[in-house]
Amino acid sequence: MAELQLREKEIFETLKKISKLDFVVIGGYAVNAYTLPRFSVDCDIAVKDDDGLEKIKNELGKLGYKEAKADEELPYSGNFKRFEKEIKPDFSVSFDILTKEVSDRQTNSKFSAGWIFENSQLRNLRGKTINEELKLRIINPEALFVMKMLSCRKTDIRDIFLLITEIKNKIWVKEEINMRFSFKDRLEKVKKEITSKQFIDGLQGVFGIIDSKIFERNAKLILNL
């Protein structure tokens, strides 16, 4: 089994075993609920409080996960913990658990766990390399769009480029971003990236071939935000 498939299979098996606990899937895996599925190297979940963290920590421990040092390149800061499981020598999977709130490193914007749970619902999560679906509480597309637009890394911009077709309430999105940072600033950064020559290659490297008409439609939706 290819390494990417092996990692994703382990993450899905773990999510299945902790699915009855109280958490919301955010980050890259949440994107898969709304767009062409892409592969993520880890799974990000948010919990309401320390009790929620402890319950998931205990379950992960039973499954062979151990607390590990968090990657400094993560888009998050604040109250989060990483748990890793080695599935073969020098090859591991990880879960990042964010407790009480999510803080964005780029803008210092904060999202309370209450906000994340309020803006989430049960949805189907699809795999990229495995033919599986799980019903889990996943952050809504508008809220996910807000979080990713504030972070605005290249990987986030690729995600929001495909998420744009799921955004029904653009006014809410703009208001939520402006409450935390400058929407105009973030939009300019996104526009600069998606109009660059290398953007489509990076997008297709992650999501696969994108039809030119779909690319043009999504670019127009972003530019007209």
| Domains: count for the chain | 2
Are residues 205 and 130 part of one domain? no
- pLDDT tops 90 at residue 80: no
- pLDDT tops 80 at residue 41: no
Tell me, what's the pLDDT at 93? Answer: 92
Are residues 183 and 88 part of one domain? no
Are residues 148 and 91 part of one domain? no
Q: Average pLDDT of 69-94?
A: 81
Are residues 82 and 71 part of one domain? yes
Tell me, what's the pLDDT at 4? Answer: 76
Are residues 103 and 156 part of one domain? no
The domain boundary, picked from 88, 111, 139, lies at 139
- CB of 167 closer than 8 Å to CB of 161: no
Residue-by-residue DSSP string for 125-164: EE-SSS--EEEEEEE-HHHHHHHHHHH--HHHHHHHHHHG
Tell me, what's the pLDDT at 73? Answer: 63
Q: Taking Cα atoms as reference points, which of 72, 68, 10, 67 lies closest to residue 43?
A: 10
The domain boundary, picked from 86, 114, 139, lies at 139
Are residues 170 and 107 part of one domain? no
Are residues 44 and 18 part of one domain? yes
Are residues 79 and 21 part of one domain? yes
Q: What is the pLDDT of residues 159-187, one digit of tens each?
A: 999 999 999 999 999 999 999 999 999 99
Are residues 169 and 72 part of one domain? no
Tell me, what's the pLDDT at 14? Answer: 97
Are residues 132 and 58 part of one domain? yes
Are residues 159 and 195 part of one domain? yes
What is the DSSP-derived secondary structure letter of residue 101? E
Sign of CA dihedral 15, 21, 26, 30: positive
| Mean pLDDT, the chain, whole residue set | 92
The domain boundary, picked from 139, 164, 194, lies at 139
Tell me, what's the pLDDT at 142? Answer: 98
- pLDDT tops 90 at residue 1: no
Q: Which residues span the domain enclosing 89?
A: 1-139
Are residues 150 and 40 part of one domain? no
Tell me, what's the pLDDT at 148? Answer: 95
How many CA atoms are closer than 13 Å to the CA of 181, on its beta-carbon side?
Answer: 25
Least confident piece of the model among 79-93, 114-128, 160-174, 204-218: 79-93
The enclosing domain of 122 has a CATH number of: 3.30.460
Q: What is the pLDDT of residues 104-129, one digit of tens each?
A: 888 889 999 999 999 999 999 988 88
- pLDDT tops 80 at residue 223: yes
